[in-house]
Amino acid sequence: MANIYPRIYFDNQLVPKDEATLHVASSAVLYGLSVYTVFHVTVENGNYYAFRLKDHFKRLLDSCRIIGIDTFGQDWSYDAFEADMKELLQANSPTKNVFVRASFHVNELLPGTRSRGLKTSLSAFVYDADPIVPTDGARLKTSVWRRTPDYSIPSRAKVNGAYVNSVLARQDAIDSGYDDCILLDSSGHVAELSAANIFIVRNGTLITPDTNTDILEGINRRTVIELADTLDIPVAQRSIDLTELYIADEVFITGTSAFLTPVLVVDAREIKAPEDAITKTLSDAYYDALLSPKSPYQTLL
Ligand code: PMP
């Protein structure tokens, strides 16, 4: 399990790791009523560079709006959030790259199944930037579980309770000897992984499920689409059939905790990427954008 750094931001202050606890009767515990995001921080010469921090904050706000957690937007501005993340990193002084998980919990005892007008608290902790899949190549299995559709628990909102769906599917893949799962949407099209988006390459075109396919609108997915545009690689956002994965020239995944990882196997079928693979071109551009302090996506904390 990843190492968690000792100081945690909890309820408007920094506290020791063991004191950052939520009440057993809070809505966050009872219903998974909290939203979260995880962002990458590059550490270089004692400086902290957060990747696409504004986009992460915006997605937290959007998630709250979708779920109806209305006290968050009132209490928090981006500037306050950035200042708190800075304080958190400086209190922990990591010397290597880390992830920060920031969450807004509904921290109210037994309010029943509702979301508006309830007290929220921001928490954030720093942990080692260990990838969730082997970054030199992942092996994926299509899950028997389907991605929770937008009309049940919106995938576009990054809400903690929804991750039971990811846990079911990924545990099943691990039990079968794979690294992660592929979740199909309710109509049988490829959606995403437990915590990553998916791309394929066919005949020189980069293809990824469109945002109406019950996916989380991943910030790294958006980064790769932007980089592909800059590199003049044609991009299509459309429905993908499972069998297209089997015959794709290349398959790769993106996500904060999955970075950009090539896929080697899907359902026991090997993906054989050609030497001049588009994945390699995009991967070089992606890691440069993620890790270079000069990248326009960085916020210096
Ligand atoms: N899909 C799901 C379900 C996820 O949990 C994640 C991780 N946040 C992603 C996709 C990738 O999103 P991002 O690139 O913003 O990390």
Q: Which residues contact 3 (CB under 8 A, 6 or more apart)?
A: 127, 128
Decide: 213 in ligand 1 pocket, CB within 6 A. no
Question: Residue 259 Cα, ligand 1 centroid: separation in angstroms?
Answer: 10
**Residue 9: per-residue pLDDT:** 97
Nearest CA to ligand 1 atom 8: 195
Report whether pLDDT(201) > 70.
yes
Provide the mean pLDDT of the chain: 95
**Model pTM?**
0.95
Q: Is the dihedral of CA 271, 276, 282, 288 positive or negative?
A: positive
Report the pLDDT averaged over residues 277-288: 96
**pLDDT tens column, 21-37:** 999 999 999 999 999 99
| 3 state SS of 233 | coil
**Residue 12: per-residue pLDDT:** 82
Question: Residue 29 Cα, ligand 1 centroid: separation in angstroms?
Answer: 22
SS (H, E, C) 2-46: CCECCEEEECCEEEEHHHCCCCCCEHHHHHCCEEEEEEEEEEECC
Q: Where are the alpha helices (DSSP H) in 176-274?
A: 219-230, 242-247
Report whether pLDDT(221) > 80.
yes
**Residue 132: per-residue pLDDT:** 96
Label residue 275 by pLDDT band (50, 70, 90): low
Which residue segments constitute the domains of the chain, with CATH numbers given?
7-130 (3.30.470.10), 138-291 (3.20.10.10)
Report whether pLDDT(94) > 70.
yes
Decide: 223 in ligand 1 pocket, CB within 6 A. no
Question: Residue 122 Cα, ligand 1 centroid: separation in angstroms?
Answer: 20
Q: Percentage of the chain surpassing pLDDT 70? A: 98
Decide: 192 in ligand 1 pocket, CB within 6 A. yes
Biggest alpha carbon–alpha carbon distance for the chain: 58
Q: Select from 41, 143, 256 the residue to mutate for testing ligand 1; criterion: most ligand atoms less than 8 Å from CB.
A: 256
Report whether pLDDT(276) > 80.
no
**Residue 70: per-residue pLDDT:** 86
Report the pLDDT averaged over residues 98-119: 92
Label residue 108 by pLDDT band (50, 70, 90): confident
- Give the CA count within 13 Å in the CB-facing half-sphere of 86: 10
